Structure 1
Amino acid sequence: MKSIVFFNNKGGVGKTTLTFNIAHMLAGRGVRVVVLDFDPQCNISAIFLDEIRLFEIWEDVRSDGTVTGCLEPVRRGKGDVLPPRLERVADGLWLLAGHLALSRFEQTLAEEFAKTLASDNDRALDVTTSLDLLSNLAAEQVAADVMIMDLGPSLGALNRAALLACDHLVLPVAPDLFSLQGLRNVGPTLREWRRDWGTVRERGLAGKPQEALPPHDFLPLGYMVQQHLARADRPAAGYARWAQAIPAEYRRSVLDEAPGRTAASFEQDAHCLALIPHYASLVPIAQQARKPIFDLKQADGIGGGQIQAVARCRDSFNQIGEKLLERLGIDLP
């Protein structure tokens, strides 16, 4: 099983939309996929599930139907991570729903992670690795091939703990100043987190050797560009400026490499996994239908040129799925 996250410190670059559509695309091709909602805003849970079903999960007296409920015994110091009760949302695709109360775990994670760096502490280890244990329990339950986590855009303790449970990450970006700055923020932070956890693993913790601690290095697979529609206040020259800057910034900030001779455009950059067009009106239609964009039908309310756009979207996400599986080293069933 391989775990992956679409993550950037910059919000609004389509992380959750990518997660939803790619999860469906992989599942549709026979890959068994579990999605974990580690975002306290619960955006992907609200796309997968209607309000009535989400309310039922949140109100269930059993607490194993959400990420928060499964982690709550650890947060309170009253027990272990609960085995999750996954929601089957499509053939070969499962979700562990989020909950707004997950934000209460942030402070505990911050405090206990600091203790893992300073001392040998059982409680610190249990808290720091709790998201990794939950991920493993979810994957084992359905024999998942791929685990996808949905995170918020912060560089806080919650996302650090989630990344410690993740093998790889893909950075969604947009061709703008904010995504460029996002790369400058997230790259050094990821290296710092990787270095800190590597230090803990090298010395062992709470009597456990290195091989007993989570082995994930959340290594970058590349980036994906969500393209904007042309706007009167953002001329083509502005797009080109950031399109030329982001490949070099990705190598410098995320890979910690000297840019050297970088690609002149996204299309020429081997680290660019995909250029995803702006699907404009198709996105809200897909969210209303609770379907991936590429599965929309006329009965869902599309017509005219939107039908061709859906077909192009299907081709695009098929290519993305193939490239991701290739880089993850996973063969199609």
Structure 2
Amino acid sequence: MSKTITFSASKGGVGKTTMTFNFASYLIRQGYKVLLIDSDYQGNLSSTYESYTNQNTLYDVFTGGLAKIRQLNPQLGLIPASPHLDELEGTLQSKNNKNFMMMMWLQDHLEEIKDYDYILIDTHPEFGTLTKNMIAVSDYVVVPLEPSEYGFIQSKQQFDLRMKEFRDDAVDIRTRASLIEAKVLYLANRVKHNTRSSHEFGQMIDQIDNLVAVLNEREVFNSSTMLKTPVFDLEQTKRNPKTLQQINAAYQQLLESVK
């Protein structure tokens, strides 16, 4: 049975897409098969694989069209985003099952997804209907945190509150149990060395029980998305064994947390 992990955040620019892209590469290197789902209408993850399109996309899951998995290589598949995804918030408001349409699609396509070990989902930085659909199908939600007052304290508080409201609202009326089973994990991202904010951030994150890994600020992550190349394949990473070791260790910690 696949494990589904959604990468989500209350604000943009925290490295969510970069993390999804490179964690997928890490999993493939460990021998796993990965399905990516891009639910951000900006389509950055899809563009990284040159698959941002209007044809057979995630949009079709919600509109009765024909969504297709694009098999990018033997270990990697993708359901790409569509620029029309931003229209769904208004389109789906009248549907009683609006937060569970992705769940139903996956249930109806078990044969197509059964061979994937992990499903990784990138989301738009908000907590709307589309993101709720992705969280509803997830085993884990990974939330990147940054070492700044807004990026850490306020973002975490906002996400925790919205997640609680979603859990409380989405209940089975017969059992009163929440239909949202995803466990929330936090990952400290873009942590800089020897700065006041990072030292303070380090003290605060020590108090978070569900913090799973720390990724330091490194130029190779920016190069990775710009060059559309996993960080592990970049020459600048290969030339620095210490950097490669630290990145591998962080992703290994994340993997151990979602097995």
Q: TM-score range by the shorter chain?
A: 0.7 to 0.9
Opposite residue 162 of structure 2, the aligned amino acid is T
CA distance in 2: counterparts of 1:47 and 1:316, whole angstroms: 24
> Which residue, 207, 211, 225 being the options, matches 2:188?
225
Shift of 1:100: 1.2
Say if 1:11 and 1:147 are closer, same or farther in 2 by CA, change over 3 A: same
Which structure shows the bigger proportion of residues in strand conformation? 2
CA distance in 1: counterparts of 2:111 and 2:146, whole angstroms: 35
Shift of 1:286: 2.3
Q: Which residue number corresponds to residue 295 of structure 1?
A: 233
2:99 is the counterpart of 1:160: no
Shift of 1:236: 2.2
Q: SS at 2:188's partner residue?
A: strand
Shift of 1:157: 2.0
CA distance in 1: counterparts of 2:234 and 2:25, whole angstroms: 13
Opposite residue 173 of structure 1, the aligned amino acid is L
2:232–2:238: 8 Å Cα contact kept in structure 1? no
> Which residue, 93, 96, 99 being the options, matches 2:82?
99
Say if 1:238 and 1:284 are closer, same or farther in 2 by CA, change over 3 A: closer
Greater radius of gyration (CA) = 1
Shift of 1:191: 0.9
2:244 is the counterpart of 1:323: no
**Which runs of structure 2 are paired with 1:1-333 in the superposition (5 Å)?**
1-49=2-50, 53-54=51-52, 57-58=53-54, 63-64=55-56, 66-73=57-64, 82=66, 84-112=67-95, 124-125=96-97, 127-136=98-107, 140-142=111-113, 143-179=115-151, 180-198=153-171, 201-203=172-174, 215-220=179-184, 222-229=185-192, 236-248=195-207, 250=208, 271-280=210-219, 282-297=220-235, 302=236, 306-309=237-240, 311-329=241-259
Shift of 1:181: 0.5
CA distance in 2: counterparts of 1:228 and 1:242, whole angstroms: 8
1:31–1:92: 8 Å Cα contact kept in structure 2? yes
Say if 1:42 and 1:92 are closer, same or farther in 2 by CA, change over 3 A: same
Shift of 1:7: 1.4
Q: Which residue number corresponds to residue 255 of structure 1?
A: none
1:22–1:317: 8 Å Cα contact kept in structure 2? no
Say if 1:274 and 1:155 are closer, same or farther in 2 by CA, change over 3 A: same
Shift of 1:108: 3.3
Opposite residue 226 of structure 1, the aligned amino acid is N
CA distance in 1: counterparts of 2:128 and 2:79, whole angstroms: 21
Shift of 1:317: 4.1
CA distance in 1: counterparts of 2:258 and 2:201, whole angstroms: 28
2:212–2:257: 8 Å Cα contact kept in structure 1? no
Deviation string for 1:168-203 (max 9, x for gaps)?
1111111111121100111011011011112xx133
1:36–1:97: 8 Å Cα contact kept in structure 2? yes
2:22–2:231: 8 Å Cα contact kept in structure 1? yes
1:7–1:171: 8 Å Cα contact kept in structure 2? yes
Deviation string for 1:200-259 (max 9, x for gaps)?
x1338xxxxx99xx9541211x311113446xxxx82232223323444x5xxxxxxxxx
Shift of 1:279: 1.7
Q: SS at 1:327's partner residue?
A: helix
CA distance in 2: counterparts of 1:241 and 1:322, whole angstroms: 25
2:37–2:80: 8 Å Cα contact kept in structure 1? yes
Q: SS at 2:4's partner residue?
A: strand
CA distance in 2: counterparts of 1:277 and 1:137, whole angstroms: 40
TM-score (norm 1): 0.68
Unaligned runs of 5+ in 2: none
Percent identity for Structure 1 against Structure 2: 23
Opposite residue 272 of structure 1, the aligned amino acid is L
Unaligned runs of 5+ in 1: 74-80, 113-123, 205-209, 251-269
